Amino acid sequence: MSLDKDIDYGTPESKNQELISLEIDGHQVIVPKGTSVMRAAKQLGTSIPKLCATDNLEAFGSCRLCLVEIEGHKGTPASCTTPVEAGMVVHTQNDKLAKLRKGVMELYISDHPLDCLTCSANGDCELQDMAGTVGLRDVRYGYQGENHLDATTDNSNPYFSFDPSKCIVCSRCVRACDEVQGTFALTIGKRGFESHVSAGIEESFLNSECVSCGACVQACPTATLMEKSVIDLGIPEHSVETTCAYCGVGCTLNAEMKGDQVVRMIPAKNGKANEGHACVKGRFAWGYASHKERILNPMMRSSIDEPWQEVSWDEAIQFAAKRFKDLQHQFGRKAIGGISSSRTTNEEVYVVQKLVRAGFENNNIDTCARVCHSPTGFGLNKTLGTSAGTQDFVSVESADMILLIGANPTDAHPVFASRMKKRLREGAQIIVADPRRIDLVESPHIKAAEHLALKPGTNVALINALAHTIVDEDLADWDYVTQRCDKELFEQWLTFIKQANNAPESVASILGLDAEALKKSARLYAKAKRAAIYYGLGVTEHSQGSTMVMGMANLAMLTGNLGFEGCGVNPLRGQNNVQGSCDMGSFPHELPGYRPVGDDLTRQSFEKEWGLSLDNEPGYRIPNMFNEAVSGSFKGMYIQGEDVAQSDPDIHHVEAALRNLDCLVVQDLFLNETAKYAHVFLPGTSFLEKDGTFTNAERRLGRVRPAIKPRTGKHEWEITMEISKAMGYPMHYDNPSEIMDEIARLTPTFSGISFDKLDSEGSVQWPCNDEAPNGTPIMHIDTFVKGKGAFEITEFVATEEKVTKKFPLLLTTGRILSQYNVGAQTRRTENNVWHPEDILEIHPHDADERGIKDGDLIMLKSRKGETSLNALISKRMQPGVVYTTFHMPFSGANIVTTEFSDWATNCPEYKVTAVQCKLTDHISDWQQQFLDYHSKQNKSNKVIPA
Amino acid sequence: MLDRTHTIPKNRFEDWHLEKVSSLLKNFDNEEHNLIDVLHFFQRTFGYIDKEVIPLLAKFFNLSRAEIHGVISFYHDFRQSKPASYILKICQAESCQAMGSRKLTTELKAALDIDFHETNNEADITLEPVYCLGNCSCSPNLTINSQLFSRVTSDHLKQILEELKNAQHD
């Protein structure tokens, strides 16, 4: 249930083009063929009573409340399962129907607790509403018959309870789990009077296959499945539409509130990225915003060994600005820089890069995309002309073949994964290229046509072999290539790809795959009418990340799979606003809209607007900043909402760099790992407090609206503005809408975007300008943004990180459903129930060789460092490859990762580290230091209040 | 008719072993629609379907644990524990009821001191209801393993039980 009083049409919309005319209660209505009588009636404004029907689920016809009479038809059919027919004459209300409905309702209520006044769904219960609608006044059967009122409540899930005594067995939860989420964790156990909702094999929700997406809770028409927050707080009274702050899917959520208290989060039906669905993070894990560890006051200290001192905003800002200025005075203009955050709004990012370019007077601005999707920006720009994915999410619903490379959507982009799984259940095929056996390889109702379990670090050899096969077997779309792509570049590429060293037989041993599997995959992809590539960090976080992105674009161009629905090359971006932070000019070499700082015309437009001249030389990337800090020439940093001391590779190096800074300003919700090295801590705002926009992985800008006012007293863009002023470059905006207006003035791809437009449209995909006033769902429709598509040579070069006798295994890192990124948010929620620690997954063979059993403590060691983790023996892994996540700071996954990075963008090679695993009885030295630091901080390093 | 109890073969179910089950499963095609066939096969072979096979079946058919459980629990005929050597099913449908099967059922339950879906270990009989054996003209009906008994009276029932008891000692 939800506060959202959007019209519920009862059954899904029919997409049929053919229209049908019928009469309902004397009124004519015209609807598409395939529409249910119930939906047609609702379109006329007539509500037929219903319980088991809701318009995001297929009609089911079990509650028997929606009965109607149709002239010429026998009996009283259910209006939800009866499709309209031409000339049909329907009666939705008459004495006979009223009597039938009341009779049905009596049966329901004869086995339902009569505790409406004290029930958590009181006022938000469809059963209650329907009892009122049918005019239930009495239950002739009494209440003493056999019933289910003694059924016990399952409170195992931390976020919702399941009270079967209130269940009417309408199956909405079961169907939501199947149809919307695609997990199939629920069923109806037994039959007849004994039928009941069962999670798994009569398991608790927590122990079942349930992934806690909450679709069942939303679908439940009673209090059977209910948010615990509603049980505690009562029904919310107003709602604020906003955008989720977790992954790059960017779900539209309604924060349902009581005053300034969030009661629950309900995915918005009109949200174009999620269409009414959400996941365990977005729907439930928002409690971190009021976690006791949140810092709400500015703090500073003159050295990192001193305790923090709470100070006023002004004092903190003046202190930081003075230090920055002094450092520039002493060490030069380029001695300071900043990192913008992929979790803040576009407007907040924009002012940070403006602060750096105009206030710091250099281009030392970078963002966490450096360590995730910078190769996407580079590779797609080089080949197609845009640094972003080509499709909207809904496009996947038209794909016939999905090539999924290095992405694990069911964990990292769960709401998009549900959409993808739905399409797969409809019959589309999927090929999964991933070293690990992820859920999309095989899970209920999903079976990949091929799992290319390649060795980590061999992506480019794979993509070349696929392209080679397509050329070799004449499966390319030659007309498309001739019309749309650059001839000269293509011919060069064709000569390259035909080389024997790109043949499946030549690379099979490099990949650890069968040549035939490669050929089969190439044929499946090339022969599909609509083939789409989706990929994640398993593509980008490699020494050849950019090469691989270009390789995928080559493959899509070669087969004519760009420029229409159901195809494309689509990055699944990690953080909520990582696309936006890139768009907003967070790169040292690019101004907003991906335009080089060296481009005079572009730079001049900014110079004119900002009233000063700008540096035309690219600034430092994050790794350059760290290197220069270690060598002593880079002295000050402003880091907003990114925990580099946990998320970046080769932590020993990062820590050495941060320790060397004379002024580190950290802005975050919590004292994160990076803040250990900070001199100034500026408290940030959570998404519940923010006012602005996020841009998701499909280039969609959605509004982030403040559900509550900033708990810190200031918006982040205001703080940045004040720092800039203190640095000697005053900028002024009254509200974030003015910042967006400036972005639109200066950035051609954003020129049509304004808060007004977003408020009226709901969301818009860039480019949005005069040519595309309502945005651009699909890119490159008739021609590539670049003009002619550019085939790039993608020679496979093996990474220098190789297994040796000393380090015979390859470590690859990734994500898990319940935790998000460095865990700063999710670790401070009940999501820890599912993932309290990072674990090391290892193949049984490798475990056997080392005498490792499930749960054993393992020392994971690379040439860079070592850390201990508990083992999970898993056949998801291939022999020779181990896997872990990096959500917990203590795990130190990035103590082990190396300094290697993408040749073009410096995106770190997180996905390939040669390691050894051994049984151990102690934690690593670094972990011990970590614990010592925290106990010291807890004992003596208390914050001194202002 | 009473002699026929001598001809009723005892159920000779194999002992449930997950490994055995797992290897037998390999003989089947993993198309979803084969699930019911597999369940029947297990029940024929082992006399019941142990809950522990559900995750295995889920993986084999690419379905969820919940779905397999839903199917098994939907059908009363799928047993979830090992039955006795003799499975006595007495018809509860309209025709047999009209001809006295309710009374017979009460007597049976009392004589064996068990309810439906339970087993009397001493008598080695599992009692189950059945809804129509397609022999309504000769109601009331019951079956013991695959042997049909028709127009059963209280006296017949006593004799049947007695003879089954004797048959066990033969």
Rounded mean pLDDT of chain A?
Answer: 94
Q: What is the percent of chain B where pLDDT is above 90?
A: 80
- Give tens-digit pLDDT for A288-316: 999 999 999 999 999 998 999 999 999 99
Question: In the CATH scheme, what is the code of domain A299-372+577-765?
Answer: 3.40.50.740
- Specify the pLDDT at position A541: 93
- Distance from C-alpha of A312 to C-alpha of A303, rounded to nearest angstrom: 18
- Residue A8 φ then ψ, to 5°: -105, 110
**Is residue B56 in some structural domain?**
yes
pLDDT at B170 over 70: no
Band (A822; pLDDT cuts 50, 70, 90): confident
- Give tens-digit pLDDT for B49-105: 999 999 999 999 999 999 999 999 999 889 989 999 999 999 999 999 999 999 999
Measured in residues, chain A has a length of 946
**Is residue B10 in some structural domain?**
no
CB contact under 8 A, A442 and B74: no
Q: What is the mean pLDDT of residues A653-672?
A: 94
Note whether B92 and B142 are same-domain residues. Answer: yes
Amino acid at residue number A505: E
3-state DSSP call for residue A2? coil
- Specify the pLDDT at position A648: 85
Whether A442 and chain B come into contact, CB under 8 Å, resolves to: yes
Rounded mean pLDDT of chain B?
Answer: 91
CB atoms within 10 A of CB A106: 17
CB contact under 8 A, A443 and B65: no
Fold assignment, A19-134? Ubiquitin-like (UB roll) (3.10.20)
Note whether B152 and B93 are same-domain residues. Answer: yes
What pTM does this model have? 0.94
A201, A443, A875, best to mutate vs chain B, most B CBs in 10 Å: A201
pLDDT top residue among A916 and B162: A916
- Distance from C-alpha of A365 to C-alpha of A837, rounded to nearest angstrom: 33
* Secondary-structure class of domain A160-290 per CATH: alpha beta
Note whether B164 and B97 are same-domain residues. Answer: yes
Question: In the CATH scheme, what is the code of domain A809-937?
Answer: 2.40.40.20
> Would you call the peptide bond into A767 cis, given omega within 30 degrees of 0 as the criterion?
yes
**Is residue B4 in some structural domain?**
no
Whether A165 and chain B come into contact, CB under 8 Å, resolves to: no
CA distance B141 to chain A (A): 24
Note whether B96 and B163 are same-domain residues. Answer: yes
CB contact under 8 A, A184 and B69: no
In chain B the beta strands, taken as DSSP E runs, fall at 86-91, 118-120, 125-130, 142-144, 147-149
Q: What is the mean pLDDT of residues A360-370?
A: 93
pLDDT top residue among B164 and A274: A274
Which residue in A690, A595, A671 sits closest to A242, CA to CA? Answer: A690
- Specify the pLDDT at position B166: 79
Note whether B87 and B162 are same-domain residues. Answer: yes
Contacting A residues, span 198-217, partner chain B, CB-CB under 8 Å: 198-203, 208-209
- Give tens-digit pLDDT for A899-917: 899 998 989 899 999 999 9
Note whether B64 and B88 are same-domain residues. Answer: no
Q: What is the mean pLDDT of residues A182-207?
A: 96
- Distance from C-alpha of A578 to C-alpha of A342, rounded to nearest angstrom: 4
Whether A173 and chain B come into contact, CB under 8 Å, resolves to: no
- Give tens-digit pLDDT for A447-465: 999 999 999 999 999 999 9
**Cβ contacts of A44-51, under 8 Å, gap ≥ 24:** A46/A92, A47/A133, A48/A10, A48/A79, A48/A92, A49/A101, A49/A130, A49/A133, A49/A134, A50/A10, A50/A80, A50/A130, A51/A108, A51/A126, A51/A127, A51/A130, A51/A168, A51/A170, A51/A221
- Residue B26 φ then ψ, to 5°: -65, -20
B52, B65, B68, best to mutate vs chain A, most A CBs in 10 Å: B65
Non-local CB neighbours of A74 within 8 Å, separated by 6+ positions: none
- Give tens-digit pLDDT for A319-328: 999 999 999 9
B57, B67, B79, best to mutate vs chain A, most A CBs in 10 Å: B67
CB contact under 8 A, B69 and A189: yes
**Is residue B9 in some structural domain?**
no
- Specify the pLDDT at position B6: 60
3-state secondary structure A465-521: HHHHHHHHCCCCCHHHHHHHECHHHHHHHHHHHHCHHHCHHHHHHHHCCCHHHHHHH
* Secondary-structure class of domain A381-570 per CATH: alpha beta
Q: Is A666 exposed, middle or buried (0-12, 13-18, 19+ CB in 10 A)?
A: buried
User: Could you give the C-alpha distances from A744 to A342, A452, A761, A780, in angstroms and in order?
Assistant: 20, 43, 17, 22
- Specify the pLDDT at position A940: 45
**Is residue B11 in some structural domain?**
no
A187, A207, A424, A875, best to mutate vs chain B, most B CBs in 10 Å: A187
Contacting residues of A for B56, CB less than 8 Å apart: none
* Number of structural domains in chain B: 2
- Name the pairing type of β-strands A196-199 and A186-189: antiparallel
CA distance B163 to chain A (A): 35
Band (A819; pLDDT cuts 50, 70, 90): very high
pLDDT at A918 over 60: yes
Tokens of A4: 């959202």
Contacting residues of B for A447, CB less than 8 Å apart: 62
Note whether B91 and B52 are same-domain residues. Answer: no
CA distance A76 to chain B (A): 27
Helices (H) and strands (E) in chain A, counts: 29, 36
Tokens of A163: 């009270």
Alpha helices by DSSP H, A660-735 = 716-726
Closest residue in A to B72 (Cα–Cα): A190
CB contact under 8 A, B66 and A191: no
Band (A942; pLDDT cuts 50, 70, 90): low
pLDDT at B2 over 80: no
Contacting residues of B for A182, CB less than 8 Å apart: none
- Distance from C-alpha of A749 to C-alpha of A200, rounded to nearest angstrom: 49
Query: Residue A191: which of B64, B68, B74 has the nearest Cβ?
Result: B74
CB A841 within 8 A of CB A874: yes
CB contact under 8 A, A187 and B67: yes
Lowest mean pLDDT among A521-530, A632-641, B133-142, B158-167: B158-167
CB contact under 8 A, B70 and A443: no
- Specify the pLDDT at position B165: 82
- Specify the pLDDT at position A646: 87
Contacting residues of A for B63, CB less than 8 Å apart: 184, 444-445
- The dihedral formed by the CA atoms of A823, A828, A834 and A838, expressed in degrees to the nearest 10: 40
List the beta bridge partners of residue A258: A261
CB contact under 8 A, A184 and B74: no
Identify the domain boundary among B74, B96, B119. B74
Note whether B68 and B92 are same-domain residues. Answer: no
Contacting B residues, span 47-76, partner chain A, CB-CB under 8 Å: 51, 54, 58, 62-70, 73-74, 76
Structural domain containing residue B38 = 18-74
- Give tens-digit pLDDT for A885-895: 989 989 988 88
Note whether B66 and B124 are same-domain residues. Answer: no
Identify the domain boundary among B44, B74, B104. B74
- Domain boundary assignment for chain A: 19-134, 160-290, 299-372+577-765, 381-570, 809-937
CA A23 to centroid of chain Cα atoms: 45
User: Could you give the C-alpha distances from B41 to A678, B15, B46, B66, in angstroms and in order?
Assistant: 68, 14, 8, 20
- Distance from C-alpha of A357 to C-alpha of A351, rounded to nearest angstrom: 10
- Specify the pLDDT at position B1: 47
CA distance A200 to chain B (A): 4
Note whether B49 and B90 are same-domain residues. Answer: no
Contacting residues of A for B58, CB less than 8 Å apart: 444
CA A564 to centroid of chain Cα atoms: 24
Contacting residues of A for B66, CB less than 8 Å apart: 184-187, 198-201, 208-209
Note whether B58 and B99 are same-domain residues. Answer: no
User: Could you give the C-alpha distances from A535 to A268, A438, B7, in angstroms and in order?
Assistant: 26, 13, 67
Note whether B58 and B92 are same-domain residues. Answer: no
Contacting residues of B for A203, CB less than 8 Å apart: 65
pLDDT at A271 over 90: yes
Band (A939; pLDDT cuts 50, 70, 90): low
- Give tens-digit pLDDT for A755-809: 999 999 999 999 999 999 999 999 999 999 999 999 999 999 999 999 999 999 9
**Is residue B1 in some structural domain?**
no
**Is residue B129 in some structural domain?**
yes
Q: What is the mean pLDDT of residues A88-116?
A: 96
- Specify the pLDDT at position B164: 84
